[in-house]
A and B are shown apart, each in its own frame.
Chain A
Amino acid sequence: MKPVLKIVGLLFILSAIVSCKPEQKPIPYGAANCAHCNMTVADNRYGAELVNDKGKAFFFDSSECLMAYVNEQTELAEKASFILVSDFTKPGELIDARKAHYLQSKNLPSPMGLYLTAVADKTAATKMHQEHGGRLLTWNEAVTAVKNNEKPE
């Protein structure tokens, strides 16, 4: 009887630990302010999120705000559990920012004026690139572009 109790207890503790693991949170559109620019996060095609190692979530109204924040707080970004952006083709769905494809095109104005649009799927990104023009960037290239405040021609 006793080992069973022990196992149950152990399982209970384990589940408690697991549930404390940092996890991504849905962005409360309309109720959260961007951690970088303080604007109300409203557009679910562009919203972004950073969850730090302790599970606290920071919300952003656009991927360029997230990148500017990452540029400012490099240490926090390195330790972050999740860095997420919205998939433009599926509004409201969050994807790994570092694996996303970024289209910078004059035809797609994002909230903070740098024309960055994140897409999860490579083929969808290429299709949008053909449709709207501009250039395709990786996460690192996009972060550098934000750092240098590069706008599309």
Chain B
Amino acid sequence: MKNLSKNIFLIVSTSVLLLWANVAFGSTLKVCKTCTYTSVKQAVKKAKPGDTVLIQKGVYKEHGIVIDKPITILGQNKPVIDGNYKGQVFTVVADNVTIEGLTIKNIATSYRQDDAAIRVVERNNIRILNNTILNTYFGIYLQNSENCVIKGNIVSGKDVTGLNESALGNAIHLWYCNNAVISNNKVNGHRDGIYLEFVKDSEVKNNLSQNNLRYGLHFMFSDGNVYTHNTFRKNGAGVAVMYTRNIRMEHNTFEGNWGAAAYGLLLKEITNSVIYHNTFRRNTTGIYMESSSRLDIQRNEFDKNGWAIRLLSSCIEDTFKLNNFTGNSFDVSTNGTPTMNLFENNYWDKYSGYDLNKDRVGDVSYRPVSLYSMLVEKVPPSVMFMRSFMVDLMDNIEKVMPSFIPESLLDEQPMMKKINYDNNRKLTQVVR
């Protein structure tokens, strides 16, 4: 009997608690043509902390919606919010806000203020999920905000091919933010796809960034970040990492970044970073490195680039190991005589040495810098002599009697066969 009353008490108390919790989780405010609320702004104004504003299918011509309490904005069947070129659509000035499942479009290009489809100002725990943002100046703009998640969004701008117009904002722009997660987004047609300035300890993964005027992904003064499994295609340059330390770059694909000022990966004054398992395909320059030191570059694929690596002599203590170099016009070029970088156990398709003891490592060392690449570095127009007889002759003579190319830049143990990254555990153990 005593037990039973105890049980009843438990049941009653939990149900009371549950009811209370239901209140705390908030009610749902529906927005549609025939609902109580016909505009998002109205509903947001009426909502209490913890409420959900459910926007149903339709087109809403609204802008300047200020979210100043922790609520969830949820779109059902992709409702369209048309900013009508009048200013920002969402401005978030509260913590714990979620914006999900909307289509936001038509933000005017503004020079005085950087208008965005969604802007977050000095807040924490903001979640921006599965939205489609079209025809905007800045797409998603976070400033001084921490622990934010930007996931599954499509931010699509203009067609920038042949466009010399700089009136473009960035698709995803973070400024002074920590611990952000940016994943599974598709961005195109902006100045930079994803731009991180003064951002720390953040993660960028599984994104597709293409056809942007400047960079697919851009780090400025942003230490301790990770980016993995992204694809950067046909941007002014795939990724630029500048004035930054401790970056992990793994399993990314850089392809088709082609043009006079284009790079796959542009490194300027970065230190203590790793570049593992990336693919660089058909870029004018795979990696351009300037004043960058203590980088570990391993197991990358450099395929059909103009230059695989342009390593300026201001770079020191960089390691290049177990990379594949195939079909590049130039494998490595440099502008001086760097001494402090290590090349070891890479596969070079231009290598013509032999392996008598059959340990799969070539017996003579390979010099990845050709005399002609040095010449092109110093006199760029001389590139028009590419593949001419004289250049071949010059390079072959230099191979026999090296006198101009850096003495110390060589791979003493080049691999005889292309390294297969899926199935090379055994081999790497041998090599180690």
Interface residues of A (CB under 8 A from B): 28-33, 37-40, 42-45, 47, 88, 91-92, 109, 112-113
Contacts and interface: CB of A to CB of B under 8 A. Distances in A.
B197 A30 contact: no
B215 interface: yes
Contacts of B214: 30, 39-40, 42
A40 B197 contact: no
A113 B197 contact: yes
Contacts, number: 59
A32 B214 CA distance: 10
9 contacts: A31-B259, A39-B214, A40-B213, A40-B214, A42-B191, A42-B236, A44-B166, A92-B166, A109-B197
A30 B164 contact: yes
A128 to B, nearest CB: 9
A30 B163 contact: yes
A37 B191 contact: no
Interface residues of B, number: 28
Contact of A37 (B167, B236, B268): B268
Interface of B: 111, 160, 163-168, 175, 191, 197-198, 213-215, 220-221, 236-237, 240, 242, 259-261, 266, 268, 288, 290
B111 A45 contact: yes
Contacts of A91: 111, 166-167
Nearest to A42: B214
A31 B164 contact: yes
Contacts of B268: 37-39
B242 A39 contact: yes
A37 B242 contact: yes
Given A40-B214, A42-B213, A45-B111, A109 B175 contact: yes
A28 B175 contact: no
Contacts of A109: 175, 197
Contacts of A33: 261
Contacts of B163: 30
B164 A113 contact: no
A67 to B, nearest CB: 16
Contacts of B213: 30, 40, 42
The 8 closest A-B pairs by CB, nearest first: A44-B166, A29-B166, A42-B214, A40-B214, A33-B261, A40-B236, A30-B213, A42-B166
B197 A43 contact: no
A38 B266 contact: yes
B210 to A, nearest CB: 15
A109 B237 CA distance: 22
A37 B243 CA distance: 10
A147 B268 CA distance: 19
Contacts of B168: 42
Contacts of A88: 111
A64 B112 CA distance: 19
Nearest to B162: A30
A33 B221 CA distance: 19
A39 B111 contact: no
Contacts of A39: 214, 240, 242, 266, 268
A131 to B, nearest CB: 9
A32 B259 CA distance: 10
A28 B290 contact: no
A30 B163 CA distance: 8
A132 B220 CA distance: 23
Contacts of B191: 42-43
Contact of B220 (A30, A44, A113): A113
Contacts of B221: 113
